[in-house]
Structure formats: C-alpha cells, structure tokens
Homo-oligomer: A and B are copies of this chain.
Amino acid sequence: MNDDAMNLRARNKQATREAISRAALHLAIEQGPNGLALVRVNDIATAAGVSPRTYNNYFSSREEAICAFQADQSRRAGQALCSRPADEPLSEAVIEAMVELYTNPEPDKTGLRMIMSTPELEGEALKAFTMAEGPLAEAIAARTGTDLRHDPHSAVMAAAVAGAVRVAGRYWLGPGSTESFATVLRRTLSCVFPSAPPD
C-alpha cells in the first residue's frame, strides 16, 4: 500500500515532531529574545495540538524543540557531501554540499536571528551545528582515503567547516548584509581551503 518509504506510523511521528518544533519556534519569536521563560511548555503543546506529556516524549527542553530543524539539518551533512560527484575536488565538493544543505530552503532570517540572539538557544544551536562534524569527518576521510582514527586532518577540517558555517550565519544575520546566505557561506568556507580557487 502506501509505504512511501515510510510507515504511516513513522510519518505521523515525523509530522508531530515538526508540528511541535514549528509551534515552539513560532511562540519563541512572538516573545522575543528576552521572553524565552514565558514560552511555557503547555503553550507549545497546545499550539501543536498535542498533550504536554507528549511534547516531552519528543523533546526534553524548549531549546531542543526550537532548534530541532537545525539539528535535523546537521544530521544530513555527511550524506550531503557523499552525494557530490566523486571526481570533484574536495574543497569544491565540501563548499557546494554545504551551500546546498544550508540554503535549501532559504533559512528563515527572523527565526535564526531570534535564536542567535538568545544565549540559551544559541547554545542549543551550537550543539546542533556540531552534530554535523562527526558525519562530515567520516565523509571527508572517505573522500581523501585517510584513516579517521589515526589522522586528525579530516576531523579538524570538519570542525573548521562547521565553524565556517556558523560564522557565515553570524555575518549574514548582522546589520549590513545585503548578500544572499549562499554568497556569505561560500566566502567563509573558502577561508577554510586556502588553495581554493576564487571561483
């Protein structure tokens, strides 16, 4: 039947997760960066149409719920790099993979600005971005044919890439940014690869 790569069951689960996360972010934006404490778990659950008890079957903190999207995105970092053509130079592959991953869809500037200007949320987002490092390091190691366990190069590069993405976010959210996120991302990422061609 309708096993669209997923049981109906799992589908609903994913939908619920998204609903809760969506509601959480929305409410957080309403309250502003200094009103995080006013976003009650009860409100989130109600807005998402589930029981408060169900809410923390999915998340164990407001921050986690609000940043769930970033977390999900980071989980795909490894796969994003792996799906680049194998004959592409490493630097180009990484840059294009990250641009593809983090601009699809174009990030919600309002939501991101809210997150990055709220210390507690910033911490959670940091965790989320860092989740990308492991898979990224593996993918890089696979591409360069090095051994992840004995050669720190891939791990360091993965960390640097993740860092560059975060820095790009900060610049893009800053006051004087008329450029697209993709542009900023390419610029910061090219700092990581000193031998990278200017384009």
Contacts and interface: CB of A to CB of B under 8 A. Distances in A.
A187 B153 CA distance: 9
15 contacts: A123-B126, A126-B126, A126-B127, A126-B130, A149-B174, A152-B171, A152-B184, A152-B187, A152-B191, A155-B167, A156-B160, A156-B188, A160-B160, A163-B163, A194-B194
Of A127, A130, A160, most B-chain CB atoms within 10 Å: A160
B156 A159 contact: no
Contact of A159 (B123, B152, B163): B163
Given A123-B123, A152-B188, A191-B153, A167 B163 contact: no
A156 B152 contact: no
Contacts of A157: 191
Contacts of A168: 152
A164 interface: yes
A20 interface: no
Interface string A128-151: 001001000000000000000100
- Tell me how many chains of this kind the complex includes: 2
Contacts of A11: none
B156 A192 contact: yes
Nearest to A193: B194
Given A123-B123, A163-B160, A163-B162, A155 B130 contact: no
A166 interface: yes
The DSSP consensus for interface residues of chain A is: helix
Interface residues of A, number: 30
A159 B155 contact: no
A26 interface: no
Contacts of A162: 163
Contacts of A195: 194
Contacts of A155: 167, 170-171, 188
Contacts of A192: 156, 160
